[in-house]
A and B are shown apart, each in its own frame.
Chain A
Amino acid sequence: MRWLAYFILAYCAIAVQSGAGVYMAYKGAAPNLVLLAVIFIAINAPRDAALLAGFCTGAMWDLLTQQPLGLYALGFGLVALFVAGTQSVVYREHPLTHFSMALVGGLLVAFLLMLHALFRSPEIVRTVQNADGLPTPRVSLLPPFLSAAYTAVLAPFALAALRRVRGVFAFEAPRRRMTF
């Protein structure tokens, strides 16, 4: 795999998500363009490269968020692990595959965010005297699940578009000539 092409894709996906994601949101849930990039890489690249790319994309995303470092790296690493693990049993170019991969990947990330919200509440900026008895605030859990559905709907179109530039990434490992 050509890593420069991967980095450009990941960089653009994260930057567009950060800049324009809020304008594409429906009911507070934006489509996850970065997840689509991770699925595209993981579904086509060799397994090792796919796992590393998923993890690195998550780590790059972590740079822009308020969540603790490593949360999205873990999430996208798991998504890459799942998608790369199914490479041999799915028809990679079928829209239904793209839909289901994006849905499961989105749900995986949403589930991880839910776990994080359950066990780790966000840092409170300051303590206030009359707020001692108040329960800890929690991040809303609905948008990540809505986002998973939204992303899944977009996946067949986005991945079909990316498939057209598949050659740039040089996913295929060089074939070894068999000698007898």
Chain B
Amino acid sequence: MSFLRFHHVFAILMLLSVLSAFVLPARFNHRVSDPARANLQGLFAPVSHPARAVAAWFHDRFAARESRDPRSSQAVADENQKLKVEVANLLGQLQALQRVNADRDRVGPIRPFCTPVPVIGTDPGNRDALNLGGATLGQIAEGQAVAYDLGVVGRVERRGLLGAQVRLITDVGFRVTGKFGKFEQTPRGEVVFTPINSPAPLVEGAGRGLMVVRNLSVADIKKAELQPEEWVVLDDPDWPNLLQNRRIGRIVSVGPQRNHPLHGEVVVQPYSDLLKLREVMVVTKE
């Protein structure tokens, strides 16, 4: 191929890239490219999965573990004991309820309703997404909710023969509605989860492992007395019932928006770094 011809071919390729990335509507772009991407992304699994496992091992062994809990270990141990009792009590109540009403057998631990799928990689670009692989892919479908043992993860964005991609709740543009809540101790010494009375917060992905609530006014936030470390849980009719009230994250900071001082900004962070999960649970049965 002469230089002139190659030069033309390269220019056309670059022009097509510009059109695809900057001009074509995102929805159209995804509709056209996602089936191919979903089927081809799994091809990287033979290297990315072991590379991730090795990197995770090194990270666990050598990286300093950061603690996000300001309480003393004794306080945490005490609370754990109380929570264990509480959980045992609640499970007993649930089992009784499940016996009474067959419809309620969806309430309780979510594990039986989920398919565990290993994470083989992350979005190598600047978006928050997980690439899934493994033998259990056949059971999952696009749009299914994804969780892990400590909260909500996101939704299956695309699925192919060899892989699937989960868009995380922290990815920019991802929106769910939730509610605020906190753990309080009753006069009898029981620790109970109490919802905080406020307008429904819209939790938006902000990228870099964070989420933000921007639809509340400063007055709403003051009235609700929101504080760091309080929880945000899922309360969204578009999500499966068994994930309702499941933790989305914890409040990291509360304040006014920089450009709109009358509107509040609540920054929320998942309990774990979702990009470092090694396995997720896809809700395949509802």
Tell whether, in the assembled complex, residue A18 and residue B131 are in contact, meaning their CB atoms are under 8 Å apart. Answer: yes
A128 to chain B, nearest CB (A): 5
Q: Does B181 contact A (CB under 8 A)?
A: no
Q: Which residues in chain B, 1-57, are within 8 Å of chain A measured between CB atoms?
A: 1, 3, 6, 10, 13-14, 16-22, 24, 26-27, 29-30, 32-33, 36-37, 40-41, 44-52, 54-56
Given contacts A63-B37, A130-B199, A140-B126, contact A12 B21 (CB under 8 A): no
Q: Are B171 and A66 in contact (CB under 8 A)?
A: yes
Q: How far is the CA of A64 from the CA of B27 in the complex (A)?
A: 17
A22 and B275 contact, Cβ closer than 8 Å, known pairs A70-B18, A122-B26: yes
B182 touches A (CB below 8 Å):
no
* B265: min CB distance to chain A, Å: 11
- Docked-complex contact B199 and A22, CB < 8 angstroms: no
Contact A144 B14 (CB under 8 A): no
> How distant is the Cα of A77 from the Cα of B55 in the complex, in angstroms?
29
Q: Are B173 and A21 in contact (CB under 8 A)?
A: no
Given contacts A48-B1, A48-B3, A68-B21, contact A113 B126 (CB under 8 A): yes
Contacts of B22 in A (CB 8 A): 115-116, 119-120
Please choose the segment from B72-80, B97-105, B190-198, B200-208 that sits at the chain A interface, where 4 or more of its residues have CB less than 8 A away.
B200-208
Q: Is the CB of B202 within 8 A of A130?
A: yes
A1-36 near B? 1/0 per residue, CB < 8 Å: 000000000011011111111111000100000100
Tell me if B129 counts as interface (CB < 8 A to partner A).
yes
Q: Quick check: is B286 within 8 A (CB to CB) of the other chain? A: no
A121 touches B173 (CB 8 A): yes
Asked if A139 is at the interface (CB within 8 A of a chain B CB), the reply is: yes
Q: Provide the bound-state CA to CA distance between A146 and B131, in Å.
A: 24
Chain A residue nearest to B163 in the complex (CB): A64
- B173 and A77 contacting across the interface, CB-CB below 8 Å: no
Docked-complex contact A71 and B124, CB < 8 angstroms = no
| Interface band, chain B | 35 or more
Q: How many chain A residues touch B (Cβ–Cβ < 8 Å)?
A: 58
Contact (Cβ within 8 A) A71 B13: no
With A66-B157, A70-B21, A137-B206 in contact, is A15–B173 under 8 Å at CB? Answer: no
Q: CB of A123 within 8 A of chain B?
A: yes
CA distance A65 to B13 in the complex (A): 19
**Distance from B133 Cβ to chain A, minimum over Cβ atoms (Å):** 10
B269 at interface, CB cutoff 8 A: no
A178 contacts partner chain B, Cβ-Cβ < 8 Å: no
Q: Determine if A160 is an interface residue (Cβ-Cβ < 8 Å).
A: no
Q: Of B27, B131, B167, B208, which is within 8 A of A143 by CB?
A: B208
The interface centre, meaning the residue of A21, A47, A55, A68 with most chain B CB atoms within 10 A of its CB, is A68
Contact bitstring A129-144, B, C-beta under 8 A = 1, else 0 = 0110010011110011
CB pair A124 B17 closer than 8 Å: no
Q: How many angstroms between the C-alpha atoms of A90 and B171 in the bound complex?
A: 40
A126 on the interface (CB 8 Å rule)? yes
On chain B, the residues within 8 Å of A140 by CB distance are 126, 172, 206-208
Asked if A74 is at the interface of the complex by the 8 Å CB criterion, the answer is: yes
- In the complex, which residues of chain A have a beta carbon less than 8 angstroms from the beta carbon of B204? 134, 137
Whole-angstrom CA separation of A135 from B201 in the bound complex = 16
Which residues of A have CB within 8 Å of B41? 63-64
CB of B271 closer than 8 Å to a CB of A? no
With A16-B47, A69-B20 as known contacts, state yes or no: A125 contacts B14, CB within 8 Å.
no
Tell me if B175 and A69 are in contact (CB < 8 A). no
The answer to whether A131 and B215 touch across the interface, beta carbons within 8 angstroms, is yes
The proximity string for B residues 56-69 relative to A, scoring 1 for CB distances below 8 Å and 0 otherwise, is 10110000000000
A123 touches B48 (CB 8 A): no
Q: Is A51 an interface residue (CB 8 A)?
A: yes
A73 within 8 A of B: yes
Q: Please pick, from B122, B172, B175, the residue contacting A126 in the complex, using a CB distance under 8 A.
A: B175
Q: Residue on B with the closest CB to A54?
A: B10
Question: Could you list some 7 contacts between A and B, CB below 8 A?
Answer: A19-B48, A19-B122, A63-B40, A71-B21, A74-B14, A120-B21, A121-B172
Nearest first, the 7 closest Cβ-Cβ pairs linking A and B are A18-B121, A70-B20, A19-B48, A15-B47, A20-B55, A19-B52, A122-B173
Apart from the given pairs A15-B48, A65-B129, A66-B127, 15 other A-B contacts in the complex at a CB distance below 8 Å = A11-B44, A19-B55, A23-B52, A51-B6, A68-B30, A77-B10, A120-B21, A124-B173, A128-B177, A131-B215, A137-B204, A137-B205, A139-B172, A140-B206, A140-B208
